[in-house]
Amino acid sequence: KTITGTFCHAPVLGQIEILKGALVEIDGEGRIADVIPAGSAAHVEKRAAAEAAGTLVVAPAKSYVLPGFVDLHIHAPQYPQLGKALDVPLEVWLQQHTFPLEARYADLAFARRHYSALVEDLIANGTTTALYFATQHVEASMALVDICLEKGQRALVGKVAMDNPAECPEYYRDASAEEGIAGTKALIDYVAAHPENHGLVHPVITPRFVPSCTDPLLEGLGKLARECGCHVQTHCSESDWAHGYVLDRFGRTDAETLDRFGLMTRRTVLAHSNFLTDGDMDLIHARGAGVAHCPLSNAYFANSVFPLRAALAKGVRVGLGTDISGGPTASMIEAQRMAIAASRMLETGVDPAQPQETRGRPGSRIDFDVAFHLATAGGGDALDLPVGQFAPGFHFDAILVDPDAPGSTMRVWDDIDSDEDALQKIVYTASKANLAAVWIGGRPVTGAAL
């Protein structure tokens, strides 16, 4: 197939590229074979050839084609509690709400029903790649893999490892470090051997966070990460409590602790990371690990705003996460808006009782261009996966945005707005109503049969 339309992407931080009328050629594997800008001889020739072969797909006039979004941190089992229990601290929320809910995924029918609803809703909201925490259960984690494959979503799935009896309830934990490691291995093997999986789904080594894991579990998972080269994900220095817990137990920060256990690799994604020291940022940069910035969840549970500009200045790879259900939205468009708003609040300071001169952190703000990059190319880069931009070799994971969709409050005016204005309006005002189609790996997964 060859698709033509107005493509918008942000391969480089802070730079928007608009390819008006370009041709994007997709190969048999769903990867981009070539991107041909309008106005060249090759464009005329290739467009005519695709048209003659009946393989040309023309995006509707006035629509925009964007890379699909990469949700870099999401708890799949917490979707049923989206929008609930946001009024208690993290450690209370885990024990009283989240662990009891996650424990219910021992029931596979329950798991299938809720995972199916989530994956469908995420795809409809333009999330084409998701880095998922599943639950402690191996079978239910396998069910999430199956559902992502059935529905065609690119996904990285981790069976949550958590064995520390001091922090995890008896009804919901790995019975031992060995069981946590064996379960993680079982999921890795399942994904590798799955007959329907041709690179769409990847396994992830997933120690929940340092407090929920014993030393032998962290050690074993670190060894496994070295052996298999898989992705690793965990929570890092999220809240005062979580950050302080690790300092008390090890006399070191989360980042230093994870590194000593061999869990800080180029394929590691650290969620939150709000309380990183300068040294932590240097360490993360040196290891090539990434950070999942979860701005909305941070407002409820972290007692902090992630110092995004500081991390970017250090060269840390950053993407955006919804952190469902710590963050009460499934929409990566809303996550972009929240990242912008959080950065503005960090910059200006929010406490009017403070003198104006000492409020806030100058230079913290971002705008739509950076947020859009983080939600697409930045997330892809943090995962080391070829997603999030329109370039040869990248997977064709994309969304079709109809700016004038009924039921939305977005309008793009021919006589007022440039294409760059339109992209800005998409980030600030678009909703699910504006997503007319979604492709993953070149395959239409929702929307009109394009």
Interacting residue ranges for ligand GUN, rule: CB under 6 A? 75, 90, 94, 98, 208-209, 235, 238, 297, 301, 323, 326
* Widest CA span in the chain: 68
Nearest by Cα to 267 from 397, 391, 149, 381: 381
* CB 317 to ligand GUN: min, Å: 20
The encoded tokens of residue 275 equal: 């309380």
Rank residues 209 and 372 by Cβ distance to ligand GUN and give the closer one. 209
- Tell me the closest approach of the beta carbon of residue 352 to Fe ion, in angstroms: 31
Residue nearest to Fe ion (CB): 323
Which option in ligand GUN, Fe ion, none does residue 24 bind, with CB closer than 5 to 8 A by kind? none
CA distances from 221 to 22, 212, 261 (A): 45, 13, 8
Residue 137 binds which of Fe ion, ligand GUN, none (CB < 5-8 A, kind-dependent): none
* Min separation Cβ 276 and ligand GUN, Å: 16
Could you tell me the two tokens for 101? 């809910």
Q: Binding partner of residue 208 among ligand GUN, Fe ion, none, CB under 5 to 8 Å per kind?
A: ligand GUN
In angstroms and rounded to an integer, the radius of gyration of the C-alpha atoms of the chain is 22
- Nearest residue to the partner ligand GUN, using Cβ: 326
Is the CB of 98 or the CB of 434 nearer to ligand GUN?
Answer: 98
Nearest distance in Å: CB 34, Fe ion: 38
Contact partners, residue 365, CB within 8 Å, separation at least 6: 309, 340, 343, 344, 346, 347
Which CB atom, from 90 or from 246, has the smaller least distance to ligand GUN? 90
Give the shortest CB-284-to-ligand GUN separation in angstroms. 18
301 contact, one of Fe ion, ligand GUN, none, CB 5-8 Å limit per kind: ligand GUN
Shortest Å distance, C-beta 24 to Fe ion: 34
Binding-site ranges for Fe ion (CB under 5 A): 271, 323
CB atoms within 10 A of CB 413: 11
Judged by beta carbon, residue 75 or residue 173, the one nearer ligand GUN is 75
Cβ proximity to ligand GUN: between 81 and 376 the closer is 81
Residue 63 interacting entry, from ligand GUN, Fe ion, none, C-beta within 5 to 8 Å by type = none
Paired tokens of 327: 């963050």
Return the number of the residue (22 or 246) whose C-beta is nearest ligand GUN: 246
238 binds, among ligand GUN, Fe ion, none (CB under 5 to 8 A by kind): ligand GUN
Q: How far is the CB of 28 from ligand GUN (least distance, A)?
A: 39
In the list ligand GUN, Fe ion, none, the entry touching 259 (Cβ below 5 to 8 angstroms by class) is none
Q: Shortest Cβ distance from residue 128 to Fe ion (Å)?
A: 20
The entry of Fe ion, ligand GUN, none that residue 98 binds, CB within 5 to 8 Å by partner kind:
ligand GUN
Identify the residue whose tokens are 């230079």.
Answer: 363
Q: What are phi and psi of 65, to 5 degrees?
A: -110, 120
Q: Looking at beta carbons only, is 261 or 368 nearer to ligand GUN?
A: 261
Considering the complex, what minimum distance in angstroms separates the CB of residue 23 from ligand GUN? 42
* Cβ(330)–Cβ(75) below 8 Å: no
C-beta of 146 vs 238, nearer to ligand GUN = 238
User: Taking CB within 5 to 8 Å according to partner kind, which of Fe ion, ligand GUN, none is near residue 402?
Assistant: none
Out of Fe ion, ligand GUN, none, which partner does residue 26 contact, by CB within 5 to 8 A per kind? none
- The CA–CA distances, whole Å, from 326 to 211, 294, 334, 376 equal 18, 9, 14, 21
User: What are the Cα distances from residue 331, in Å, to 137, 279, 430?
Assistant: 26, 33, 10
Taking the least distance from each CB to ligand GUN, the nearer of 12 and 92 is 92
* Residues 19, 25 contacting (CB under 8 angstroms): no
Q: Which is nearer to Fe ion, 233 or 389 (CB)?
A: 233
Nearest approach, Cβ of residue 91 and ligand GUN (Å): 9
Q: How far is the CB of 167 from ligand GUN (least distance, A)?
A: 9
Q: Does residue 363 come out as left (phi exceeding 0), alpha (psi in the -120 to 50 range) or beta?
A: left
Nearer to ligand GUN, 69 or 132 (CB): 132
